[in-house]
Amino acid sequence: MTPSTFQRALDEGECFLFDGSTATALHDRGITLQRSFEECNLKAPDLLLAIHGEFLAAGAQVLTTNTWGANRLKLAARGLEGQLDAINREGVALAKQAIAQQGSRAWVAGCIGPLGVRIEPWGPTSFEEARALFREQAEALAGAGADLIVLEAFEDLNEIHQAILAAREVGSLPVAALMTTNDDGQALFGAEPEWFIKQLDTWGADLVGLIGGNGPAPQLRLLERLKAVTARPIVLQPNPGLPHQVDGRLIYGASPEYLGGFAARALAAGARAVGGCSGTTPAHIRAMRGAFRQERAFVQGGGGFELKPHEQPQPEVPFAYRSRFSLKLAQGEFVHTVELVPPKGMEYDKLVAKTRQCRALGVDAINVPDGPRAMARMSALATALIIEQQVGLETILHYACRDRNLLGMQSDLLGAAGLGLRNILAVTGDPPKLGPYPQATAVFDVDAIGLVNMLKRLNTGLDLGGAGIGKPTSFSVGVGANPVAPDLEREKARFRYKVEAGAQWAITQPVFDAESLFRFLDFTESLDGRGGLPIIAGIWPLKSLRNAEFMANEVPGVFMPPALLARMAKWSSAEDQIKEGLAIAQEIIETIRPRIRGLQLSAPFGQVELVAPLLPKREDT
């Protein structure tokens, strides 16, 4: 059956019954979760033919291919990326073969699921990379003769947008775009159903709708809201209730009769297609097929409803007015900051005393690292607050993505803003395996790029889902940079993404090689045509040969030229090694100062006296 026949049926107002869950049927036949369901297209084709045949016999009109997880990233996790084309094409071929065997009037929906990774603005995978991955799978499905493309169980609106674009680039097949929501109808980050359905419509999906969830009732409640904002055919494919584990198997509570009743009500209320998701068996589909004989569905248009995001962004506070640190950068002043690590325990008197030393030396701000090298220390947020309240010196709060999920991150940042902390350095964070708790779980819901996007959104008065938070935050947003990264092209690409996301300044890893820094600055200064972001160079005065060897061999992102190690090795006494370390730092500062906007001085082991000679003499007034 050619793709045009499905499009014709769609244009003529037909209603469609999609099938149920192939994965559930495979699991019931002994395919464990440790195996790839998609590989069964090649290794167990008879199982797939039998499953498709059962759904057809139950009355399904649209068979969904067993390719939901057959994208390159998910297949690579099982070593199957080299079989991507074969798995997707065979998925289509098996469904078409089942239709031919039964002589049914049915169509094949080439199924594409999420990539399984975060994409921008919340993750490191770019829109272009995501679109290319989706396009690769769509090309295989379309090339094998699918009648339509169905994008199933997406939560991230940004991700399904790239999937729609990819499907459109491949050809003219109809595209069904189905989102997964919570019981209130919200997708990832709280996106409201009216908003995301209208977006799917605008981006060119031919059918839009919902899949999965916690049973049919929530989808029925949402149907009227969806119809109010789109004239596109609406698809509803719920799970048959909440699953329960019985003897190691997932049993879904909704009976076939209950799903049959759902289908009748959905069609009567204006849905154009129904079906099932995880847990939906041929028995459920048979009961739903009965609804097609009982009800004649009809389509109601959206009436030209013009939807806008439920909250509009507010103007951002100008950069110069976000903090004293921002003002100095905005005015072109050269800034000096000192990095002090939070205490290991709860006693912070020594840290406060060191901070007072820094203030007396004329330091502009204190950098507060967040779990550096995956060490458990006092909260960086709490440490920054103590410093600002007890010393009155601004801080730059390093905020790592390692330890918190998106909800926790947003809560922390709103709390930081409410407490008056203004300067945030967005960092991805060192993985736990670098520290003393290698078995600790790392979250990494987003990386530094996603965190910058989050900060940008909060600065416009919106939360992750686009809902208003009232008064916008006014964070001054910085990011890290590594001029000597092993994969420098990737580092440059990520830095560009950070700038595009909203970064306003950057701090580098400790610099020991001026030429490498200059090459990186040549790149950053060309980014926006205005000289690039203010770059603050990290400086680490070496305390000893042992300290230099540690930096060279055990600190990620640091390059120590052999000549500097040789210079430190010339001296045997601790005093001479300290002097040589300071001399090296002073030479680097003198060389790079004309091209940077500030210095971040790391005080080895918290010894502020080691960085004091690197600060400009403060004139008494």
Q: Are strands 535-539 and 598-602 parallel, antiparallel or unpaired?
A: parallel
Q: Cβ–Cβ contacts within 10 Å for residue 189, how many?
A: 21
- Assess contact for 163 and 133: CB atoms under 8 A: no
Residue 247 has what pLDDT?
A: 40
- Assess contact for 316 and 459: CB atoms under 8 A: yes
Please tell me the distance from the alpha carbon of residue 397 to that of residue 365, in angstroms, as a whole number. 10
Amino acid at 414: L
Nearest to 355 by CA among 340, 343, 344, 335: 340
Please tell me the distance from the alpha carbon of residue 511 to that of residue 611, in angstroms, as a whole number. 15
Helix (H) or strand (E) run with residue 476 in it: strand 476-481
Six token digits for residue 58: 């139950």
Helix axes 574-592, 545-554, angle to 10 degrees: 50
Please tell me the distance from the alpha carbon of residue 411 to that of residue 402, in angstroms, as a whole number. 15
Q: Are strands 273-274 and 249-252 parallel, antiparallel or unpaired?
A: unpaired
Classified as helix, coil or strand, 351 is helix
Residue 33 has what pLDDT?
A: 67
Six token digits for residue 469: 């938070």
Angstrom CA distances, 65 to 21, 79, 527, stand at 10, 21, 44
**What single string gives the DSSP state of each residue in 3-43?**
HHHHHHHHHTT--EEB---HHHHHHHTT--TTS-TTTHHHH
Taking CA 619 as the corner, what is the angle to CA 614 and CA 621, rounded to the nearest 5 degrees? 150
Please tell me the distance from the alpha carbon of residue 570 to that of residue 405, in angstroms, as a whole number. 48
First-to-last C-alpha distance (Å) of the chain? 88
Give me the residue label for tokens 């008197």: 349
Count Cα atoms within 13 angstroms, Cβ side, for 24.
Answer: 20
Alpha helices (H) along 108-253: 127-143, 157-170, 193-202, 216-227
- Assess contact for 532 and 524: CB atoms under 8 A: yes
**What single string gives the DSSP state of each residue in 432-452?**
GGGSS-TTSPP--SS-HHHHH
Sites in the chain below the pLDDT cut of 50: 1-3, 243-253, 295-310, 621
- Assess contact for 604 and 544: CB atoms under 8 A: no
- Assess contact for 443 and 405: CB atoms under 8 A: yes
Q: Cβ–Cβ contacts within 10 Å for residue 12, how many?
A: 7
Six token digits for residue 20: 């149920």
Please tell me the distance from the alpha carbon of residue 599 to that of residue 591, in angstroms, as a whole number. 13
Please tell me the distance from the alpha carbon of residue 531 to that of residue 39, in angstroms, as a whole number. 51
- Assess contact for 449 and 497: CB atoms under 8 A: yes
Please tell me the distance from the alpha carbon of residue 391 to that of residue 353, in angstroms, as a whole number. 9
Residue 382 has what pLDDT?
A: 96
Residue 291 has what pLDDT?
A: 73
Helix axes 84-102, 45-58, angle to 10 degrees: 40
Amino acid at 560: M
- Paired with 109 in beta bridges are 64, 148
What is the separation of C-alpha 566 from the centre of its chain, rounded to a whole number of angstroms?
44
Please tell me the distance from the alpha carbon of residue 550 to that of residue 544, in angstroms, as a whole number. 10
* Ramachandran region, residue 470 (left: φ > 0; alpha: ψ -120 to 50; beta: rest): left
Q: How many residues in total does the chain contain?
A: 621
- Paired with 510 in beta bridges are 538
Q: Are strands 505-510 and 273-274 parallel, antiparallel or unpaired?
A: unpaired
Classified as helix, coil or strand, 427 is strand
Q: What is the pTM of this model?
A: 0.65
Helix (H) or strand (E) run with residue 294 in it: helix 282-294
- Paired with 154 in beta bridges are 179
Domains of the chain: 3-294 (3.20.20.330), 319-543+593-611 (3.20.20.220)
Give me the residue label for tokens 């045009």: 4
Classified as helix, coil or strand, 234 is strand
pLDDT per position as a tens digit, 203-218: 999 999 999 887 788 8
Angstrom CA distances, 331 to 322, 324, 328, 533, 597, stand at 13, 11, 5, 13, 11
Q: Cβ–Cβ contacts within 10 Å for residue 99, how many?
A: 20
DSSP state at residue 366: E
Please tell me the distance from the alpha carbon of residue 391 to that of residue 351, in angstroms, as a whole number. 10
pLDDT per position as a tens digit, 58-84: 999 999 999 999 999 999 999 999 999
Q: Cβ–Cβ contacts within 10 Å for residue 383, how many?
A: 25
Please tell me the distance from the alpha carbon of residue 593 to that of residue 588, in angstroms, as a whole number. 8
